[in-house]
Amino acid sequence: MRDGPRSTGQSGHWLRFAQDVSRRDQHGLDKDVKLYFVIANVAHDAFISCWETKRYYDSSRPWTLVRHYYKGQRLIGWAGPGGGTKEMAAEDWHPYSPMSFITPPFPGYTSGHATVSGACAKMLELFTGSDGFDAIEKRRHCELTEKEGGEEVTLTLPTFSATAEMAALSRALGGYHIPVDNDVGLRVGREIASWSWPKYQEYFAGKAKTRP
């Protein structure tokens, strides 16, 4: 869902996954340069698309939607660090996030995590010729939100596409996005990667044409 204040961000996290692929497939320098080139650039393009969409539609996030549409009602929400969940007024609802970072201060549609993850995951699939990832991530659950982190959990990442979907889903479960933000973000990111892949191949082959 998030990596905390020292986060590498979506693009940096997917470049870390690219490093995992490099080690797995035993890349040489030439192949690594190409791999990081396409991942960094498709993430850049995905961010441009995502932020243009955010500014155009100017949509709300759960923080606003829950408090507006359920005003005057009671619901179950997160009770804060160490508090679990409890019944509360809709006006008191907030995402599963510290009070120092309640919700991102910009529109929700489309999700940056979903769009960039969709793009980078698809690009890794195109570059390697397979959707297979077969990686794992080990983390102490809740360590960035609760007072103390829980036990270490293992997240299995069987494919690039499943990893992107996990990243997108986490944003809805955490209360930062509604599903459409993530669903469209994933789809657009994947389309950006598929659309741009032929151009990267032209660069690799030395046949790319520059604009006049």
DSSP the chain: ----TT--HHHHHHHHHHHHHHHHHT--HHHHHHHHHHHHHHHHHHHHHHHHHHHHH----HHHHHHHHTTT-EEEEE-STT--EEEEEGGG---SS-GGG-S-SS--SSPHHHHHHHHHHHHHHHHHTS-EEEEEEEEETTTTTSSS---EEEEEEEEHHHHHHHHHHHHHHTTS--HHHHHHHHHHHHHHHHHHHHHHHHHHHT------
Tokens for 32, please give them: 């690594």
- Name the pTM for this structure: 0.93
Using CB atoms within 10 A of its CB, is residue 107 exposed (0-12), middle (13-18) or buried (19+)? middle
Please state the domain extents for the chain.
Answer: 9-59+111-205, 62-103
62: confidence class by pLDDT, cuts 50, 70, 90? very high
Q: pLDDT digit string (tens) for 100-143? A: 888 889 999 999 999 999 999 999 999 999 999 999 988 888 88
pLDDT given at position 209? 86
Q: Are 88 and 79 in contact (CB under 8 A)?
A: yes
Average pLDDT, the chain: 94
Distance CA 212, CA 202 (A): 17
Q: With left for phi above 0 and alpha for psi between -120 and 50, is residue 134 left, alpha or beta?
A: left
